[in-house]
Every structure is written in C-alpha cells, then in structure tokens.
Chain A
Amino acid sequence: MEKNIVIIALFAALIAALGLVPKFTLASGIPITAQSMGIMLCGTVLGSRRGAQAVLLFLLLVAIGLPLLAGGRGGLGVFGTPWAGFLFGFPFAAFAAGLIMERWRSDNIPLVAGCAAAIGGIAALYAVAVPYYMVAVSAGLDQALVTAMLPFMPGDILKAILAGYITAGLAKARPDSLLSRA
C-alpha cells in the first residue's frame, strides 16, 4: 500500500523533472521537452490505474500553482488556452498506454511498450485534445488538425519510440519494476 502511494508520487515528480531538467536535446540539436514522454512512461511502467493517478497528481500540482510544465509554466492559467485539451488528455494517455501493456503480453517489451506509448500518448491524447480544441475555438476538423495536431506530431512519434526503449531498459535493469506487467 505504501509502495503504491510512494511510486505514484515519485513518478509524478519524474514527469515534472523531465520537463525541468533543461538539457535533453535530440541528436539533431533540437531541444524537445521530455515531459510528454514522462506521461507515456507512467502508463507503460506503472500500468493503467497507477499511471493515470500519477498523471492526475502532477496536473493537480500544476493547477494549484507549481511551475512544473516544461519551460516553467504552471498555475491555473495553463488550463485556459485552447490547447489545454492536451493537459486534460494526459491521464487518458497514461491509462491507455498502461492498459495495453497489461493486456498485450505475448510480444517483446520494446515493441509492446512502443506501441502502448504511441496508442496512449498519441491516439488517446489527440482524441481528447483535438475535439477540445475544436470546441474551444469553434474550429472545424481541418483547422484543428493543422493548428493543434500537426505541430506536435513528429516529436510525439519519436517520444513514443524512445518510451518503448526506455521501458525495455527499465525492465532489463529491474525485472520486477514493471508494475504494468506484475
């Protein structure tokens, strides 16, 4: 029981740390935020329920005013933009990624975790974020896809692949640590 609570708190802190440690850059030198990768990892490592709970805790602390989002943003204001659907979609993303890790056990971990991260961190996330954007600015689907989805897509695909490798790395180093497969 204590273990559940502690690991949820620590993975919520990990999401924040991934957004605040500023030195993560791609091979090409383009700085990207690893924060949404943290969301994917919560799902693939902790599983559906605990993963979503860790993300909810993170969002709660953002909302009450800690500057935890990448670039030091935070507070209630970040939920006021038409792009806030991404934040509201985060728990669903982690939940979906965790669910896939829990159910799909027949293949190797990098493949399954990568797919789980992609389906959770991209499909489930955009399924919340795009409609939210459409309602928030009363936009059509074409506008929403161009202005809310396209700019983030390449980074998210890359992060899903990396999340797969990272999850596999964790499974190798601490075989019992993948609670999603426990």
Chain B
Amino acid sequence: MLSLISPVKSPYHKVPPGPKFFLLMVASILLFLNGNLYFQASALVVVLGLYLVPGMAFFTAGLRMLWPLWPFVVIVFLWHTLTFDIVSGLVIIMRMFSAVALANLVTMTSQLDDVIALVTRVATPFRRFGLKPKVLALLIALFIRFLPVLIEKGNLLVESWRSRSTRRAGWRVVVPLALLALDDAEMVAEALRARGGLEPDEV
C-alpha cells in the first residue's frame, strides 16, 4: 500500500518515534498558545528550514504534502479580508502551515512498524479499560490486509456497472461493496475461530 514515508533518508529517520511525537506535541501547543505575528512567521521559517536539512528533494516532497491546505487558506483569507482583520488571518494561516508541516515531518520520517510498536506500547496501560494490545495489533493487521481487497472489489463493481450502463456508477455501488465487506467479515471470523480463535481473556 501507498505510504507517506519519505524515501529520501534524513537525520530525522534515526530519531525514534517516541521523542519525535513528544516534541511535536510540545511544539504544537506552543504554536497554538502564541498569537503573535512575528513569532508565527519565525516559527514557519524554522519549520521550512527543518525541511531543507535533508536536501531539496525532501523539501519539495514536503511542500507537495502541504498543497491540500489551499482551500483552507482561501476560506480563512476571504473571511479575514472581508472583516478587515488580515493580521489575525495571517497568524491563523501561518500557524496552520507550521503545525501541519511539523506533523507531516514526523509522519514522513517514521517507519510504520516503529509507530505501530509505539501505539501498542502506549495502549498497554489501557488494558484494564478493555483495550488489549493483542486485539489492537490484530485489528491493525486485518485492516491493512483488507483495505486493498476492498478497493479492488470497489473498482471491479464500478467497472461492471460501466459495462452495463451508460451512466456513471454512483452511490448505488456502495450497497454491494458494504455487502461484500459484511460477507468477508463473516468468513474471516469463522476462519479465525477454526484456527483456534482468540482466547477469552484476550478479548
């Protein structure tokens, strides 16, 4: 499956995800608490600088990941222009870019299995509230296994619709797709049970 991890190696790849997530949290809180225009501008420059450290290819990949923010920029900018409050509009836009870019940086430089290991570790204290790490791991594995299957089936449904109709396949395809998911769930659950299933104290 597609992933957001950058193939360009960077110094950040070597930092374990735990500290990275912690630093991200601290930085996000600081960004949120400070509403000063100059603070936000310098923060944005620092963040963009962080992207430049591993090189140009990494920098442009990072910018590409920020591109989906443009509709939000338009909305915020329009509102604040209409209300003659451009300064706070700029603060909001720059804060958003810094926060999202920093978070993307963590995502782009953290291996998925390391992050899953971190999540399972963090989830351990919650086991008394019914969140068993083993179940969580199984959920993640089932999800990752079945997403491509469902996408494949969705595409097949759209294609077979096209071969029968001149109109586009719309929401009607969702019914058979959800049915396939329900039926698959039935069979996979049976297969898990047949192979011993989960022990009662694990669920």
| A37 within 8 A of partner (CB) | yes
A99 nearest CB across to chain B (Å): 19
B85 nearest CB across to chain A (Å): 10
| A113 within 8 A of partner (CB) | no
What residue in chain A is nearest B75 (Cβ atoms)? A147
Among B76, B115, B140, B181, find the residue whose CB has the most chain A CB atoms closer than 10 A.
Answer: B181
What residue in chain B is nearest A79 (Cβ atoms)? B103
Q: Is the CB of A41 within 8 A of B178?
A: yes
Which residues of chain B have a CB within 8 Å of any CB of chain A? 1-5, 24, 28, 32, 35, 65, 68-69, 72, 75-76, 79, 83, 88, 92, 96, 99-104, 106-108, 110, 112, 115-116, 119, 135, 138-140, 142-144, 146-147, 149-151, 154-155, 158, 168-171, 173-175, 177-179, 181-186, 188-190, 192-193, 197-198, 200, 203
Tell me the complex Cα distance, A88–B190, Å.
33
Q: Is the CB of A81 within 8 A of B4?
A: no
Q: Is the CB of A72 within 8 A of B158?
A: no
What residue in chain A is nearest B183 (Cβ atoms)? A174
The B interface is mostly helix, strand or loop, or mixed, namely helix
Q: Is the CB of B150 within 8 A of A61?
A: no
CB contact under 8 A between A170 and B197, given known A6-B185, A77-B100, A82-B72 = no
Q: Is the CB of B79 within 8 A of A20?
A: no
Q: Is the CB of A10 within 8 A of B142?
A: yes
B33 nearest CB across to chain A (Å): 12
Which listed segment binds B: A21-29, A104-112, A115-123?
A21-29
